Chains A and B, each alone.
Chain A
Amino acid sequence: MSGRVLLAVAVALVLAAVALTRVLENQYYYFATYVILQYVVLATAWNILGGYTGYVNFGSAAFFATGAYTAAVLIKAVAAPFPVLLVAGGLVAGLLGLGIGYLTLRLRGVFFAIATLALAVVLQTLVVNWGYVGGSRGIYTLRPARVPFFDNYVEFLFVVMVVLALGALATARWIERSWIGRGLVAIRDNEEAAECMGVPTLRLKLVATTVSGALMGVAGAPFPYYLTYMEPTSAFNLDYAINSLAMPMIGGTTTWVGPLVGAVLLGAAQQVATVTISSALNLLIVGLVVVAFVILAPEGIVGLFRRWRARARA
C-alpha cells in the first residue's frame, strides 16, 4: 500500500471520527475506543524498540506516566493549553528514553530490559515522594468546562487519540521503511555483525529508545484529563507494561501493522470483558493467549496472514 493511499485513508479516518462526534451521543464508545487507541500508540511505540530492534522494554509504564505527570504539572502550574501538554509530554519522555538508553544500551538486551524495570520503580518512588503532584494522595485535574467545536471534552479526547494513533502508526511506518529501520533490523538480527558492517548501532538504538519513549509520553499526556484524578498506582500500572508488550507479540512484531492488529484485538477484547464477564478471568486469558501466541505463532497474526497469502499465491 503506497504512502499516498495510506495518507488519504488516515485523513478520511480523522474526518470520520469528527463526524461521528456530531452524531453519536453515547459516551461509552468514546471512552472505550480512547483506551484502545491509547494502546495502539503504546504498542506501536513499544514495537519500535522491541520488535524492530529486539530490545525489550518492561517499563512502558514509566514513559507513559512521565507524559501524564508532565501534563499534570503543566496544567497545575500554568494551565497550559492542550497542544503544549502533548508536546511537553513527548519531549520529557523522549529525553528519559534517551537517558536510559545512553546508560544501558551498551549492554546486552536483557540488561536493558531489567534496567527499564528498575527505571519504572525509581520513577514511581520519585513521584510518590513529590508533594507538588500530590504524591500518593494523587492530583485532581478538572476538565475545562468548554472545549471549542466539540459538545464535550470526552469527544475532544477521542479525536485527539485518533490523531495520535494515526501519527504513531505513520512514524513507525516511516521508520520501518527508512535506513533507520533497516539498521534496526540489522541490529536485531545480529548486533555484532551489524557493528562490523559499519552500522552506527549505538546511535540507532538511541533513536529508537527516544522515539519509542516520546510516543509513549504523548500517549500519556491526555491521561490526567481522561481520569480527572490521577495517582501513582494507576499511572504506573503494570497493565501498561504488559499490554504494550503483549499486543505487538500477538499482532506481529516485524511491521507497523502488527501492533495495530494486536492493540485493536486485545484492547477490544479487554474492554468488552470489563463490561461482560468482568473478572479475574480477563487477566488469565491474556496470559494464556500471549503464551499460546508466543509458542505457536511467533510472528503474530500478521505472520500467519502472510503465510496464508504466500500459500494462496503458490
Chain B
Amino acid sequence: MVRNGRPGIRTRLVVMALIATLALWGATAPAALAAGPIKIGFGMALTGALAGNGKAALIAMQMWAEDVNKKGGLLGRKVELVYYDDQTKPATVPGIYTKLLDVDKVDFVVSGYGTNVIAPAMPIIMERKLAFVTLFGMAVNEKFNYPYYFQIMPTGPEPLTDWSKGFFEIAMKQSPKPKTVAIAAADSEFAQNAAAGARQNAKKYGLRIVYDKAYPPPTADFTPIVRAIQATNPDLVYVASYPPDSAGMIRAAHEVGLKPRMFGGGMVGPQYASLQTALGPLLNGIVNYHFFVPEPSLKFPGIDAFLKTYQERAKGAGVDALGYYLPPYAYAYLQILGQAVEATKGLDQKKIGEYIRANTFDTVVGKVKFAPNGEWAQSRVLMVQFQGIESNDLSQFSGPGHRAVLYPEQWKAGSIVYPYEKAKR
C-alpha cells in the first residue's frame, strides 16, 4: 500500500473513510423528541470500574419504566428513560447532565451510581433548583447542603458512622468484650469514608486501633497485609474494600490463618452472586454489611416479583445474577420520584422536592423516609453473618438462609456465631 515512500490511493481512501466515520458521528445525534412522554434523564456507569453495578441498576430502572407504563404511565403520560454512559468518569458528568437538560430537554434527572458521578452534577442541579434522587453516594450533601437532594442508600442520617455502627455494636455485645480493632481500607473514596467512620466508632466504644492502613486498589496479593494485621493480634478486623480486594483479603485470611473474634464489616463484594460462588465456604463467619437479603423479616411488598423478573433479565447480561444489592434500590429511587409526581399532580421540581422531604414512601425496599439532609431518616445498614455455607453452589444464596441478619434489631433474624473461628467451620 505504500509506493515510493508515499501512501497510495488505496491508503488515502481508507484514511478518508476513517475521517468520514469520525465526522458522521456528529451527524447522528438524536433528533429532538416530540412532547408527550415524561422524560427522565441520567448518566449511568455502563463501562468502567463500576459498570457491573451500573448495568444491573439500568435493568432495574428499565423494569420500573415498563411497570409504570403498563399501568398507564405517570399522570397519564408514558415514561421514557434517556440515559448515557458516564463510563464511571466524573469528567463526563457536567456534559451529560447539561445535554440532558438543555438539549434533550428531559423533565427530570436522577443520578448515576456512586459519589464520583453524583458530586459533579450537583452544581448544575442546584443552579436550576431541581429535585434530585441519587443512587448510592456517600455523604455528598454534607458539602452542598441542598434541600432537594435525596439518597436511596439506606445508610442513615450520619452516613459515615452509620455504615459501620452495626458491626461495632454487635461486637461490643459479645463477651468477652473486644479491646482492639484493625482497620484496613482500599485507597478510594467509599472505602476511606467507611474507614473514617469506623475510626470514629472505635473511639466511641473505647477500642484501641492497632492497625490502620490503606492499600492501593490494584493490589495483587493480600498476604503481606493480612500478616501485618495478624501480627498486631486484633480482636476485631474491619475491612472496607471493593470486590476484588474483598476476595483477595478473604482468601489471604484463610491462607494465613487469621483468627480475630469478628471479621468483615465494610466489604463490597460478598453481596454479589459472583463472589459468593467464587468464595463459597470461605465466607463462613464473616460479618459484613448488606442492604438486602431474602430473609423472611425483610419481605417487602413487591420485592419478590421484582427479584424474579430481574433474575430472568440478568441471565446472560453479564451482571449480578441475584440482584440483592443495587437493583432493588435503583427501582426504589424511581418509585419515589414517580409517586411524588403522581401525588403533586405535576412536574414542578420544587413541589416534588418538598413532597419527598415531607413524606414516607412505600417501595420494594420497604418504607422510605428521608432526614432533612437527604439521607435516610433511619439507618438500615444490615449486618449479616454468613453461616453454614457448604459449597460454591449459587442455589445456597438464591433463597433465605446462610445469611443471619444480626442488626438492626428491627430486622434481626438469626444469631451470631462468635468468635469468628467457630463460624469458620
Contacts and interface: CB of A to CB of B under 8 A. Distances in A.
Asked whether the complex places CB atoms of A and B closer than 8 A, the reply is: yes
A278 interface: yes
Given A275-B96, A307-B7, 5 more contacts: A31-B94, A226-B94, A227-B93, A296-B11, A304-B15
B54 to A, nearest CB: 12
Interface string B83-116: 0110101111111101101110000000000011
Considering the complex of A and B, which 5 residue pairs feature the smallest CB-CB distances, nearest first? A229-B119, A28-B98, A27-B98, A278-B85, A26-B102
B46 to A, nearest CB: 6
A20 interface: no
A304 B12 CA distance: 8
A234 B96 contact: no
A275 B120 contact: no
A265 B46 contact: no
Contact of B124 (A26, A27, A275, A304): A27
Contact of A229 (B21, B85, B120): B120
A125 B215 CA distance: 10
A76 interface: no
A237 B47 CA distance: 15
A272 B192 CA distance: 35
Interface in B278-328: none
Contact of B18 (A25, A229, A231, A289): A289
Interface of A: 25-28, 30-32, 35, 125, 128-129, 135-138, 140, 142-143, 152, 154, 226-231, 233-234, 237, 239, 265-266, 268-269, 271-280, 282-283, 285, 289, 292-293, 296-297, 301, 304, 307
B11 A227 contact: no
Contacts of A234: 89-91, 116
B189 A279 contact: no
Contacts of B28: 276-277
A307 B6 contact: yes
Contacts, number: 147
Contact of A237 (B89, B143, B188, B196): B89
B6 A231 contact: no
Contacts of B214: 128-129, 135-136
Contacts of B189: 136-138, 231
Nearest to B143: A140
B14 A143 contact: no
B116 A229 contact: yes
Interface residues of B, number: 54
Mostly, the B contact residues are helix
12 contacts: A31-B94, A125-B216, A136-B188, A136-B189, A227-B94, A228-B120, A234-B91, A272-B25, A276-B28, A279-B46, A289-B22, A296-B15
B102 A27 contact: yes
B187 A128 contact: yes
B122 interface: yes
A266 to B, nearest CB: 8
A307 B144 CA distance: 55
Contacts of B19: 265, 301
Contact of A228 (B6, B123, B186): B123
Mostly, the A contact residues are helix
Contacts of A307: 6-7
B14 to A, nearest CB: 6
B276 interface: no
A65 to B, nearest CB: 12
B322 to A, nearest CB: 25
A138 B119 CA distance: 11
A311 B119 CA distance: 53
Given A228-B123, A269-B25, A31 B95 contact: yes
Contacts of B119: 138, 140, 227-229
B409 interface: no
Interface string B258-290: 000000000000000000000000000000000
B134 to A, nearest CB: 13
B34 interface: no
Interface in B24-44: 25-26, 28-30
A293 B14 CA distance: 10
Contacts of B95: 28, 31-32, 35, 271, 274-275
Nearest to A266: B22
A277 B229 CA distance: 47
> Chain A CB within 10 Å — which of B11, B26, B85, B89 has the most?
B85
Contacts of B187: 128-129, 135-136
A279 B1 contact: no
B18 A293 contact: yes
> Chain A CB within 10 Å — which of B28, B87, B196 has the most?
B87
A227 B91 contact: yes
